[in-house]
Amino acid sequence: MCFVVKGAPMLRPVAISLGLCALLSGCIVVPVPVPDGMGMSPLDLSSPPNACPVNAETEGAGGAGLAALNAARASAGLPALSLAPRLTRVAQNHSCDQAVTMKMGHVGSDGADLRKRLDRGGVSGNAWAENVGMGQRSVDEMVTAWMTSAGHRANILNPRYRAAGLAVSRDVTGQPYWTLVLADRP
């Protein structure tokens, strides 16, 4: 904190004193006891940060997106993916986290990678992958973008994957953040 005071010399000591008080007042910690029976429980840190409910947009995207993904897989001679609620929840939590932080990526704001997020969601398996995207305004645009990207396409067309979860969340500006989670089992 820096103060520059021009004018009467007597104001400088007052300004410095006020500034010092303001600075130190933010450093005082006062413990406040909470009486038993107040209905307060300890903070649950096992939940993913910024968890948000599966929304209607995600529910719609799941069906339409899965149809587009399965059409691509069928043309490659692969079995259809099933829509898995737990994978959808993992995808939704990650999309929500990205939207809240306005950052797209495969690592959550708490440092959790896909494997850790799957563990939190109660998902087991031997093979999994994640596609993320940002900015595509519809599920069709998102699936098209993934299918034109070699790495994302390889994930979608991997014959080991049998289940999927697809989600979207929007940030405060309306920008969509997409997450597709693929796994060998739901």
What's the structural domain count of the chain? 1
Task: Band the pLDDT of 3: cuts 50, 70, 90.
Answer: very low
pTM for this entry: 0.70
User: Coil, helix or strand for 130?
Assistant: strand
Q: Nearest to residue 1, comparing CAs of 17, 23, 21, 18?
A: 23
pLDDT tens digits for range 131-146: 999 999 999 999 999 9
Q: Range of 70's domain?
A: 56-183
How far apart (Å, rounded) are the C-alpha atoms in residues 157 and 176?
24
pLDDT of amino acid 102: 87
Q: Are strands 128-134 and 176-183 parallel, antiparallel or unpaired?
A: antiparallel
Any domain includes 95: yes
Percentage of the chain beyond pLDDT 70 is 68
Closest alpha carbon to 48 in 104, 95, 102: 95
Place of tokens 């896909």: 114
- 137 lies in some domain: yes
Q: Looking at the domain assignment, is residue 159 inside a domain?
A: yes
Judge whether 100 lies within some domain.
Answer: yes
